Amino acid sequence: MKASAINISDNIQFRLFLISAIVLLVYKLFISTPNSLVHMLISDLLILLTTAFLFLSLLGYFEKRKASPFSLIMNIGILNAFIFFLITFSDSFMSLLFENVNERINNPSIASVLVTLVYLMLIVGFITYVMVTLRHLFFLRQSNTQQVYFVTMLVFFMLASLTAPYLNETKFAFICDTFLIVSVLLMVINSIRISWIAFIVKKEKIALLVLSIVIAILFIVNLNNSGDGTLHNNLLGSFAPSVSEFVNIVMLYGAIYFSVLFFTTLFHIPTAEAFDRKAEEVSSLQYFSKLITQVLDFKELAETVTDITTRVGSADASWIIWKDDEFAPIANKNIGFVDSEHISKFILKKIKWDELTDSAFLKLTDLENNHELSQPYKIAAVSPLKSHGDVKGLLVAVRKGDKKFSDEDKNAIATFSDYASVSIENSRLLEESIEKERLEKELDVAREIQKKILPEKNPEYDELEISSVFIPAFEVGGDYYDFFELSKSKLGFVIADVSGKGISAAFIMAEVKGIFESLAKTFLSPKEILIRANDILKHTLDTRTFVSAAYGIIDLEKQQMKLARAGHCPVLLLRGDTAQPVKPSGIGLGLSDEKQFEENLDEMTLMLKENDTIVLYTDGITEAKNENMEDFGEKYFTEILLENSRKAVDEISRKVIKEVSMFSHNHMQYDDITLVILKWKQKIKIDGDKEWQNSAPQL
Amino acid sequence: MAEFSTSIVGKGNVSVINLSGYLDAHTAPTLENNFTELIDQNQFKIVVNFTDLAYISSAGLGVFMAYIEKIRDNKGDIKLASMNDKVFNIFDLLGFPLLYEIFGTEEEAIKKFIESDGIGTK
């Protein structure tokens, strides 16, 4: 929106300029009585208007681009050169076109008016451009409140140039003289406000010094050339006298401005170096404080630190001695590894790593085999990089020549090493937290796998009440339980615990599920199934990993349960007021070879009685810990089970879980908790009913 | 988490690893390093003393499984000694007594090594 608005107003100014130029042309062509005062005034006003419109449209063009002071000054220089050529060669050029130039001035033909107008427009164009550029220079690094000075100056320029041709040789000459004097005063005032010079670097200042004097001289030469008696003066004096005056005034302003600029620059040069250094420090610190939040990569950060160290400390090379397994130079800047390692060894010999609290300076001339260095490094500044009060690394900056590190350099390096310490620490913390996040993500995946592996719901039988609870630990523990509805009257169940934790345990769980899923369908004896499972797992698991499991089959017809156990917690049978651990012998899966496993594996068969309650669990319950690191324990577990054994299975589970969580509420749950409870409901032994029950839909 | 530490004591040609504290997935690497160290030194007759061990997790048990094969291939053994009831119970549930010789005291375990050496040389 704004851009297009500027464009339109730009166009309007430019159109106005064109219109006034054309009017001027028409006026000049048809009314050519040079000595009539009124006509002269009208033509001057027309030229003034044209100049003003040109100024405004150039202004709009300038606003849009961000020019550096240097390009502006170069612009002025080039324009001045043009003006110089224009003025110098106008004489010979005009002579080529017209036989008697001075005659033509007094008696203009159409051709001469046209040529003069083109000449005028060129001069006006250049001068306006110079003025706009000077205005831009004036406003560089200047507050807008100064605008009034500049505008006032412009107004006086106009007044002086308009009045001079008409009043100069009358008794009112003092008026135009006053305007001129005020103009000159304003020029001087406006010329001493050069604030942008402080912000350019030393090299540029020196270039500026040369440029400003050359341009100042050009202005003076142009001013001199456009004086009385030259063709330029004659031409403009008769055609547009105020323009001639205006050109002189602008030339004067330019001469004053650039002379002042020259001296200002001259006085700035001695302090330029200090100023440059300060500016460098400021910009480096800004750059670095940005990096503190940006750098994710330690290596990148270290590179930046050494890069900036060479700049703020005016050093020839820099690196960091970092202690990983051993001391090694890292992030070498402007120095080879061999040299930096050589110097690092010397530094570590001279400086006690842990005791360095401040920057230290070492003469490298003391270095043995100094001549072996590829560069004649003479002095080293060593600063500690600390975090949590410990020295983590040393920041080294070295110099080649005989120039010592100045106090400013020392301060800069010391300050900088403090900054570097902070950001290196940040970078390390960030790395740690990223690692932590990665682990948490991994655990999320593990928990997700676990959730998918465990049965969504319990099977339903008239003769069995089933309840299952699973509470995952933060670090996935590898608990697994499952039911297999083998036939209408047979239910297989398994509970297992993979050794280890985390994502590896979750993957093994998935494998174990696959093994039991397939074995349960093929074999109808718990012992057989566990033997096969051991065969498979012995070959697939790594030596240190194993799985404890208990596998059972309940035959609803025969009212019996067969159970085999491979290293798992005993299965508890609650019958009446007693709790018996059912613990047939067996080694954990994946621990022993086929023969040994088979020889030591027993299978038990249990006849079920009404309200027999079978409790399967993992050690997450019995090994749940309180704040004193005491176990929940089998004894307490059994007590709670017995107290509640007459209740429904869900109620029993709830009670146990409630007790476990109360017991360990001050301690993190370290392992998965799995609790599966099956309760046998005696079915009525009527033949007809039996038939009916077995065919009942299982919902 | 709770602390875990080990110490290795040489007794004749038998090395004794004393365990103390909590042995779980996080502390297991310490014990693993002990075993690698002994194997590197060709010390294959190892007794592990559990007197000061408060707790062992399944990952802790796994450490013994990781090295037993190599040690037995080199005519050595890992013998376990002086477990408290709780720790023994964990070993027992998993059937470790069938896989490892477990002794009441460290001395008995060392004696067993010496006896079998004697049989070996005869």
* B31 in a structural domain: yes
Neighboring chain A residues of B99 at a CB cutoff of 8 Å: 587, 591-592, 596
Contact B93 A500 (CB under 8 A): no
Rank A212-216, A325-329, B1-5 by mean pLDDT and report only the highest. Answer: A212-216
How many domains, in total, are found in chain B? 1
Do A364 and A510 reside in the same domain of the chain? Answer: no
The structure tokens listed for A549 are 């499991």
Size (chain B), residues: 122
Report the pLDDT value the prediction gives residue A101, as an integer from 0 to 100. 62
Q: Do A260 and A228 belong to one domain?
A: yes
Q: Which domain, by its residues, includes B57? A: 4-117
Q: Which residues contact A679 (CB under 8 A, 6 or more apart)?
A: A464, A465, A466, A611, A612, A613, A614, A648, A649
Q: Maximum CA pair distance of chain A?
A: 146
Same domain membership, residue A554 and residue A424: no
Strand order in the sheet with A613-617: A464-471, A673-680, A613-617, A571-575, A578-582
- Where among A432, A464, A486 does a domain terminate? A432
Burial status of residue A440 (CB atoms within 10 A of its CB: 0-12, 13-18, 19 or more)? exposed
Does a structural domain hold residue B27?
Answer: yes
* Residue A203 burial (CB count, 10 A): 10
A263 and A306: one domain?
no
Using the predicted structure, report yes or no on whether residue A691 has a pLDDT greater than 60.
no
Q: Quick count: other Cβ atoms within 10 Å of Cβ A403? A: 12
Nearest CA in chain A to B54: A629
B122 part of a folded domain: no
Residue B53 belongs to some domain of the structure: yes
pLDDT at residue number A248: 86
Using the Cβ of A570 and the Cβ atoms of chain B, whether some distance falls under 8 Å is answered with yes
A675, pLDDT greater than 90: yes
Residue A128 domain-assigned (yes or no): yes
A 622-661 → B contacts, CB under 8 A: 629, 631
Residues of B with Cβ-Cβ distance to A631 under 8 angstroms = 86
A391 strand-pairing partners: A386
Residue A312 has pLDDT above 90, yes or no: no
Together in a domain, A220 and A361: no
Same domain, A630 and A684: yes
The enclosing domain of B59 has a CATH number of 3.30.750.24
Q: Picking from A61-70, A197-206, A431-440, which range would have the lowest pLDDT averaged per residue?
A: A61-70
Q: In this structure, what CATH number is given to the domain that contains residue A379?
A: 3.30.450.40
Note the pLDDT of residue A588.
95
Question: What's A489's domain CATH number?
Answer: 3.60.40.10
CA angle A50, A55, A56 (to 5 degrees): 100
**Is A144 contained in some domain?**
yes
**For residue B97, what is the nearest residue in chain A, using CA coordinates?**
A587
With 90 as the cut, is the pLDDT of residue A579 above it? yes
User: Nearest-5° angle of CA B113, CA B119, CA B121?
Assistant: 100
Please give the Cα distance from A195 to A601 (Å, whole number): 95
- A288 pLDDT band, cuts 50/70/90, is low
Locate the chain B residue with the closest alpha carbon to A538.
B65
Are A313 and A254 part of one and the same domain?
no
How many whole angstroms separate alpha carbon B103 and alpha carbon B96?
A: 12
Split into its structural domains, chain A has a count of: 3
- Segment among A478-482, A515-519, A660-664, A686-690 with least mean pLDDT: A686-690
User: Which residues span the domain enclosing A85?
Assistant: 69-268
Q: Indicate the residue of B57, B59, B98 with minimum beta-carbon distance to A600.
A: B98
Which pLDDT score is estimated for A517? Answer: 94
> Which tokens is B4 given?
């875990």
Question: Which of the four pLDDT bands, split at 50, 70 and 90, describes residue B77?
Answer: very high
CB-CB under 8 Å, A499 with B58: yes
Cβ–Cβ of A567/B95 closer than 8 Å? yes
Q: Pick the closest to residue B61 from B7, B15, B97, B23 (CA basis).
A: B23
Specify whether A300 is located in the same domain as A237: no
Task: Express as a percent the part of chain A with pLDDT over 70.
Answer: 90
Mean pLDDT for A582-589 is 94
**ipTM reported for the complex, 2 dp:** 0.91
What are the chain B neighbours of A500 within 8 Å (beta carbons)? 25, 58-59, 62
Chain B residue with minimum CA distance to A498:
B58
A144 interfaces chain B, CB cutoff of 8 Å: no
Inter-chain residue contact B99 with A548, CB threshold 8 Å:
no
B50 domain residue, yes or no: yes
Q: pLDDT band at residue B2, thresholds of 50, 70 and 90? A: low
Q: Find the closest chain A residue to B98 by CA distance.
A: A587
Q: Is residue B84 part of a domain?
A: yes
- What is the predicted pLDDT for the residue at B106? 93
Between A and B, how many CB-CB pairs are < 8 A?
A: 65
Q: Is A324 helix (H, G, I), strand (E, B) or coil?
A: coil
How close, in Å, is residue A438 to chain B by CA atoms? 18
- B61/A548 touch (CB, cutoff 8 Å), yes or no: no
